[in-house]
Structure 1
Amino acid sequence: MAITGPADAVARRDPPRSRFKRALLAPWQGLVLTLVAGLNIAVVVLQVEVIAFISLGVGLLLLPISTLICRWVANLARDLAWRWQGVQIPRPYRPKPAFQRGAMGLVERCRWILRDPATWRDLGWSSVNMVLGLILAILPASLVVYGVEGFVDSFLWPVLVRHGEENWYTFVHLRPGNEHLRWVSAWIGAFVLILGFLTGPALLRAHAHWTRVLLKPTRAAELALRVRHLTETRADAVDASAAELRRIERDLHDGAQARLVAMGMNLSAAEALLEHHPDEARALLLEARDASIKALAELRGLVRGIHPPVLSDRGLADAVRALALDSALNVEVTADLPGRAQAPVESAAYFAASELLTNVAKHSGGTRAWVDLSHANGVLRLTVTDDGHGGADPGGGTGLRGVERRIGTFDGLLTVTSPPGGPTVVTLEIPCALSSPKTSSS
């Protein structure tokens, strides 16, 4: 899955099946986060010792390595918070400058690491996560294991008593003479087991949110990230505009312009032949007419490629429906847009939908696609789902990367979910406001 865009995604309500799946997965996810908390212990010890030995020179050599490990663990927590809980935590690290070679470059690198506030926030999070994070992460699995223990004790009670085992399960004492309490431990175990599954998602969600509190960028870091994001999107917009101008120039030169030149030559030749060879002149005039028709069709296609008239006249929803009709796939479009977005946003969403449907037709191996358009909480959302074989990777080609750059100019968010075997779900979220729907006076 690839994710780019603003720090906060719009919250969604999970369907019942998804909530059930999250409850089942919570204990296992908690075990993974428990391992992350264990890594935090090693990271804190390593990082503190390296910083303490900087004055002796050894720390200068080890600080970049220990910081890289610390950041890797923190980024792992960021990725898991997004993947499992939908809580996105941007990476606030300052861009790496150019360093000198030799010892001075090593000193500059360590100074850059130590002056980056994110270095200390990662270390602070690691110190807290190995205690608080461990408790939140291990609770779901512990409750499930303890609930299973109640069932085991209940079913194996005769065997345990026969071998002289005595044990307490909550307030139930497993010993000879208490056989009438045998099934009480099973009922308590069932309650604890259900409690573990029910509270697991909430505990892991709390883990993700407090992780975001410690690992999210500071206000200054957010401004720096914002400036860097705007710089990158501006460069992407300039490059895309230059590429679009080159495409238009090439299409005009190789298409309509060449046909117009040929048409002019045919008309000149027809003028010379008109008096003495009218049949040949008539044939040249017919060729010129055909060339003018083709040139007009190419110019219309070029105009549609710049800004489709249907998009200006009828809006994004009908323009996407027109794309669906022209597609080789069986495409179903669902739209709920109470108004019109700004023209640049509509254009970006339209061409993104066109690119995504083209990708489905070329690469997915599917025969059907579903396009959903909606607007809620100030965000225009476009989702394209197909029944193909999955495995789409934004880093594997230019199609999805191009869509990502196109909507990045508007602080858009691209999410790709494409497990092997499918289905592939691509969601675009573009912050924007809709205008009031136009009403007719007739």
Structure 2
Amino acid sequence: MSRSMADRVEESLPWFRERLVALGRCLVLHLLVYPGLLCAALAGFAFVGLGFGAGALLLPLAVLAVRRMADQRRELATRWTGTVVEAPYPRRPVFPAGATGVRQWVRWLRADPATRRDLTWLLLDPVVGGLLALLPVALVLEGVYGFVVCANVRWMSSTGYGDWFVLMHAHYGHGGDLAAISAMGVGLVLLGLWSAPKVLPVYGRWTRSLLAPTPEVQLASRVRQLTETRSEAVDAQAAELRRIERDLHDGAQARLVAMGMNLSAAAQLLEKHPAEAKEMLLEARNASAQALNELRDLVRGIHPPVLSDRGLGDAVRALALDSALTVEVGVDLPGRLEAPVESAAYFTAAEALANAAKHSGGQRVWIDIQHRDGRLLMTIQDDGAGGADPAKGGGLRGLERRLAPFDGILVLNSPVGGPTVLTVELPCELS
């Protein structure tokens, strides 16, 4: 019997642990209201001071403080409530230096709709968000206070200290009153613990209603992103065409021209100097073989035949066999991807393998490719020294440009000392 009771207690521990964590998060979210009030006072003073000139100096500081607080709340709402709240701020324009640039920046901050929405949230959050987050905490504290009343009812009654609990009056020596207060205290504590995980999603939706981008902002951001990716795609295509033209001009074309000249010379020498003509014919044959190999390499650089014939999985396995490193490939693709997506993913893997062989200093690479929830997920990890940084440009920046037209996401985690993990996500469907 005691063992069965212990089992039930052990089974209930995760329930209490989960709700205690949620209760602590509610408390933190409520306490964050008070620094927000200070920010609201600072912002209000800055806006009022604009008419006197002093606000122009305080406004950037106040807006940056408000945005920092709003970003913190977006992050907590995303991590704690399961509601993703993205930042709505547009890219800052380039302003001239000096006082003129400062004035333009201040006007831009004042006209930004995101600034007005942040300030609206800052004024309303103490009333809505703060009280909402306080509700489970208040229920638990009120329940605990019931036990305090029961434990100290004699002292409270003798000193005149409030011995009321909710709507019940505790009398010393009346066991029925104390039992009812204790039962209500337990009920309030359990109600507070039960409601804490329920309150967090509601708080997240409240935060998203004011701090997330509006449909107009999302549309403008999407248009800007598509404009940038289109420009990058056009530039990348032009660069690829120049590369193909250069490779043809410097490689196969030059060999074909040389081969034609050798054949012409051999035709003139064939009757009088057959040995020399034979030597030129052999040179022409070697030049044709080299030109053919260069053309094949060029075609593979544009779109590898194995990718068209066998799909992404086998094409990446072929890359692994040609790599100087030891590469393990895991593929879970129950179907074929669209050709442009396959090509982007293939060349991303090829560039990542080349970077690992050239810069990582490692010996092994692991590639995992799978399709989940309408997205191609590809993870490439090496055991090298790490320290890769997309901000330095080079191949990593090229990978971002290659994935951008497909709304692809590239995430790099490369701490100094390694390992380097490159994660690629591409929205796509399987055929």
Q: Same fold (TM over 0.5)?
A: yes
Q: Aligned letter for 1:272?
A: Q
The 8 Å contact of residues 132 and 203 in structure 2, kept in 1 or not, is answered as no
Residues of 1 paired with 2:56 and 2:41: CA distance?
Answer: 17
CA 1:380–1:171 in 2, change beyond 3 Å: closer, same or farther?
Answer: farther
Residues of 2 paired with 1:105 and 1:305: CA distance?
Answer: 47
Residues of 1 paired with 2:64 and 2:420: CA distance?
Answer: 33
The equivalent of 1:352 in structure 2 is 348
CA 1:92–1:332 in 2, change beyond 3 Å: closer, same or farther?
Answer: same
The equivalent of 2:408 in structure 1 is 412
CA shift digits 1:403-423 (9 cap, x unpaired): 112111111112222233322
CA 1:370–1:241 in 2, change beyond 3 Å: closer, same or farther?
Answer: same
Residues of 1 paired with 2:100 and 2:133: CA distance?
Answer: 44
Find 2:383's aligned residue among 367, 387, 404.
387
The answer to which of 398-407 and 104-113 deviates more is 104-113
SS at match of 2:337: coil
Q: Percent of pairs identical after alignment?
A: 57
Residues of 1 paired with 2:424 and 2:255: CA distance?
Answer: 40
The equivalent of 2:47 in structure 1 is 51
CA shift digits 1:46-73 (9 cap, x unpaired): 2221112122222234323432343344
Q: Aligned letter for 2:242?
A: R
CA shift digits 1:198-250 (9 cap, x unpaired): x9999999877765554221111000100011011001101100110111011
SS at match of 1:409: helix
Match status 1:215 vs 2:211: yes
Residues of 2 paired with 1:129 and 1:120: CA distance?
Answer: 14
Find 1:342's aligned residue among 314, 338, 344.
338
Deviation at 1:348? 0.7
SS at match of 2:353: helix
Find 1:318's aligned residue among 299, 303, 314.
314
Query: Aligned pairs, how many?
Result: 367
Unaligned runs of 5+ residues in structure 2 are 1-17, 141-146, 153-192
CA 1:98–1:328 in 2, change beyond 3 Å: closer, same or farther?
Answer: closer
TM-score calculated relative to the size of structure 2: 0.71
CA 1:108–1:321 in 2, change beyond 3 Å: closer, same or farther?
Answer: same
Compare relative contact order (CA 8 Å, sep 6+) and give the higher one, 1 or 2: 1
The 8 Å contact of residues 333 and 372 in structure 1, kept in 2 or not, is answered as yes
CA 1:63–1:399 in 2, change beyond 3 Å: closer, same or farther?
Answer: same
Q: Aligned letter for 1:359?
A: N
Unaligned runs of 5+ residues in structure 1 are 1-21, 144-167, 174-195, 436-442
Match status 1:70 vs 2:66: yes
Match status 1:253 vs 2:228: no
The equivalent of 1:193 in structure 2 is none
The equivalent of 2:266 in structure 1 is 270
CA 1:101–1:89 in 2, change beyond 3 Å: closer, same or farther?
Answer: same
CA shift digits 1:346-390 (9 cap, x unpaired): 111111111111122222222111111111211111111222222
Deviation at 1:108? 4.8
TM-score calculated relative to the size of structure 1: 0.70
Q: Aligned letter for 1:221?
A: V
- Within 5 Å, which residues of 2 pair with 1:295-314? 295-314=291-310
Q: Aligned letter for 2:315?
A: A
Residues of 2 paired with 1:27 and 1:353: CA distance?
Answer: 45
- Within 5 Å, which residues of 2 pair with 1:166-315? 211-315=207-311
The 8 Å contact of residues 66 and 118 in structure 2, kept in 1 or not, is answered as yes
CA 1:264–1:391 in 2, change beyond 3 Å: closer, same or farther?
Answer: same
CA shift digits 1:55-111 (9 cap, x unpaired): 222223432343234334444555677789997644322344566888776655434
Q: Which has the larger radius of gyration?
A: 2
The 8 Å contact of residues 91 and 216 in structure 1, kept in 2 or not, is answered as yes
